[in-house]
Amino acid sequence: MKCWLSCLAQCLTIVVVAALSASPRAQQLDYGTLEQVFHEPVTTSATGQPQRASEAPVNMTIVTQDDIRRTGATTIPDVLQYVAGVDVRRYGIADEEVGIRGYNAAYNPRLLVLVNGRQVYSDDYGRVFWPTVPVQLAEIRQIEVIEGPNSALYGFNAVSGVINIITYDPLHDRINTATLLGGTQHYWGGSAVATGQIDDRAGLRVSVGGYQARDYGPANLSAIDAANRQNPLVGAFNVDGRLQIAPGVQAYIDGSMSDSRFAEETFAASFETNMTRANSIRAGLSADTAIGLLNFSAYRNGQELSIDSSAVKGFPNWVNESVYIVQANDLLKLGADHVVRIGFEYRNNAETSPGFIGGTIGYQVFAGSLMWNWQITPSVALTNAVRVDELQLRYSGNLAAGTGFTVADYNSTSFAVPSFNSGLVVALTPEDTVRFMIARGVQVPSLFDFGVQIPFGAVGPVVVAGSPDVHPSTVDNIELDYDRALPAIDSGLRVAVFAQRNRDLISQPFAVPPVIGPTGLPLLLTSNVGSSNAAGAQIGIKGHSDSGFRWNVSYAYVATTDNTVLNRGGLITSAINYANSTPRSVGIAGIGYTRDRWELDLMGRWQSSYQDFRASLNNPFLLEPVEVRNYLSLNARAAYRLTDNFTVQVAAQQFNASRLLQTAGPLVERRVLFGVTAGF
């Protein structure tokens, strides 16, 4: 520990000295200007290196601010549902789960979600509380969706994919807008974004927003679940400042707070209402120097969660969580054809809950990473990235009796896990690009997986516990993509095929078969439960015309097979049943038209049937399958610009059906929202 801190201090010293002593370079990553230069979105999410989206060695979709606005969506998952390969499950107006290429479930722990590179998922289950993500849709420049593992850049949990939400830069982008929305389900919401700048030396962007609504009706739910659900009430505040200290040297600081109450489907397929307060503070420095583009950042995320549910009556129902992350990296161009990125990361998290954990569980991670991009020829580039994460677990508190584990077992647990990404990008012609990628991602057990402690008798005649012995899950992925630009029709075509193997799947303890513990008590223990394979393909085309039309059509297919020890003997205890719980086919289509003051869009999403689960009323440890039949959901939006500053809009979500069974949760209802936006 001391050695690492010493190394970190030395790295920091090098960063500061280099930043101050080297000759200053020009301005750094300014997304907007770079997009103007290259006539396409730019990204750093694939490798950490600034790249044109078309040259990134990953399957990436970039959802722009125009795309976001035209969906008429009020949440980020509602925007993402129109990305091929992304699966969105709607368990409520605020409760949505996002997965990539299948493997979606309540509390999905396989997706890494970031805002400007800062993690916004919770380490408790590795899940994302989407309503607490402190970003207003109007301040998002682009959402970068990477399909497939990318742990070699980001570390744990980037296994199914990565979603990096990039907001406007307060130093370069002047966003001043306010929106008011109201509609069915008693929905009322609004947001405001304001930016202040001092020349090109300093910028500050502030955003605030929130909404309340009546959640979808409980007609499809048990009386217990219906009673556990409360209507959503969500608010968030964010501030983002940047300072140009000198040419090539920038400092930044951002902070956020969010407060939410919303009903959520749990991993046990029952409903509860979460009251969540989250906050973050981050500071960083980047310097373009003779020894490369140096970046340093440090941040803290905090979260206070209080659970309201009949299932946890009698428990201290709160969970506090914090994570500290320090990152430093150097991005260096060597000669004309090589780019190298060296990165270090330190992470320290802790979760405290007397009711669910019996104390505090946490871990620290030391990680080192190396990325090398080699432009072999003007049309061929090879990128290799490796990363090693070393995790050291710790626990303090009172372990549940009957597991056989001691506090010393926890505090002596550590492991190191490597991950890698390799991508070959070949520009066959100016219009044709082929990408071949192989990768290994790593999913670390969540804090709950490691540390839950529920004594015998608390929820039944069984001890429920996490395990320090559970292994990380790994995902090996191989993929071949082909992109074809079709300039004659201003369109782009993408075809992708992939296969992946998931080893050492991790199951939370409630779902595994019970065993007899060392003291003779029945024991449910977090376990590695087997493997799962997936293979799939995607094809999509997106384009526009000078006359104002735009269109997109895509189809995604994924087939999944499981080989696990779960759900044997006719009893369903686990939602890890990916073969049945993944819709195999998803089709997406959209058409839009902009003329004069009008903006009109129509979007549709169809998906095939799949199996979801709800908690059994007779036995809290059992699940009942719910067959979700294939369905089509159509959305439309019309907007009219009254003046240069004011726009009115109406958006209809799922206008083709008043109610649809989309999950085992409540029926998703048709929504109509009216809004007015002022921009200055």
Partner 1 sequence: MCRGVCCGGFIAALLVATRPAGAAPPSLSSQDLQVLGSALTFVQPRPAGTLAVVYSATDDASRQDAVAIMTALGNGLPIGGATLTPKLVDAAVLGSTDFGLAIIAANANGEAVAQSVDARHALCVTADRPAVQRGLCTVAINSAGRVDIFLNSRVAQRAGITFATAFRMMVREQ
* CA-closest candidate to residue 187, choices 657, 651, 667: 651
Q: Is 292 in the site for partner 1 (CB under 8 A)?
A: yes
- Of 14, 29, 298, 553, the residue at the interface with partner 1 (CB under 8 A) is 29
CB closer to partner 1 out of 149 and 292: 292
Nearer to partner 1, 52 or 659 (CB): 52
Among 313, 336, 643, 644, binds partner 1 (CB under 8 A): 336
CB 631 within 8 A of CB 652: no
Distance CA 502, CA 578 (A): 11
Q: Does 333 interact with partner 1 (rule: CB under 8 A)?
A: yes
Query: Between residues 331 and 417, which has the closer beta carbon with respect to partner 1?
Result: 331
CB neighbours (10 Å) of residue 618? Answer: 7
> How remote is the C-alpha of 509 from its chain's centroid?
24
Asked if residue 487 binds partner 1 (CB under 8 A), the reply is: yes
Query: Which of 119, 10, 7 lies closest to 368 in space, CA to CA?
Result: 7
Cα separation, 577 vs 565, in Å, equals: 11
173-212: which residues touch partner 1 (CB under 8 A)?
Answer: 200
Shorter beta-carbon distance to partner 1: residue 214 or 333: 333
Cα 78 to Cα 651: distance, rounded to the nearest angstrom:
12
The angle at the Cα of 416, spanning 415 to 421, to the nearest 5 degrees, equals 145
Which of 23, 547, 618, 643 contacts partner 1 by CB under 8 A?
23
Contacts of 416 (CB under 8 A, 6+ apart): 388, 389, 390, 391
Report phi then psi at 115, rounded to 5.
Answer: -120, 115
Instruction: Pick the stretch among 140-148, 328-336, 384-392, 515-523 that binds partner 1 (CB under 8 A).
Output: 328-336
Three-state DSSP class for 199?
coil
Query: How far apart are CB 173 and partner 1 at their closest, in Å?
Result: 14
**x/- track of binding to partner 1 for residues 427-466 (CB under 8 A):** ---x------------------------------------
* Helices and strands, number each (H, E), in the chain: 9, 41
Q: Nearest distance from residue 41's CB to partner 1, in Å?
A: 12
Nearer to partner 1, 237 or 482 (CB): 482
Give the single-character DSSP code of 519.
T
CA nearest neighbour of 237 among 275, 279, 204: 279
Restricting to residues 229-288, name those near partner 1 by CB under 8 A: 247-248, 288
Q: Give the whole-angstrom CA distance, residue 101 versus residue 635.
A: 23
Rounded CA gap, 43 and 149, in Å? Answer: 17
Copy the structure tokens of residue 139.
């301040």
Task: Provide, rounded to whole angstroms, the least separation between the CB of residue 381 and partner 1.
Answer: 11
- Smallest CA-to-CA distance from 130 within 121, 138, 118, 117 is with 121
Q: Which is nearer to partner 1, 37 or 408 (CB)?
A: 37
Site for partner 1 contains 378 (CB under 8 A): yes
Told to check if 49 binds partner 1 by CB under 8 A, we report yes
486 binds partner 1 (CB under 8 A): no
Residue 527 is a binding residue for partner 1 (CB under 8 A) = no
Please tell me the count of residues contacting partner 1 according to CB under 8 A. Answer: 38
Confirm or reject binding of residue 382 to partner 1 (CB under 8 A): no
Interacting residues toward partner 1 by CB under 8 A:
23-30, 33-34, 36-40, 42, 49-52, 54, 200, 247-248, 288, 292-293, 331-333, 336-337, 339, 375, 378, 430, 485, 487
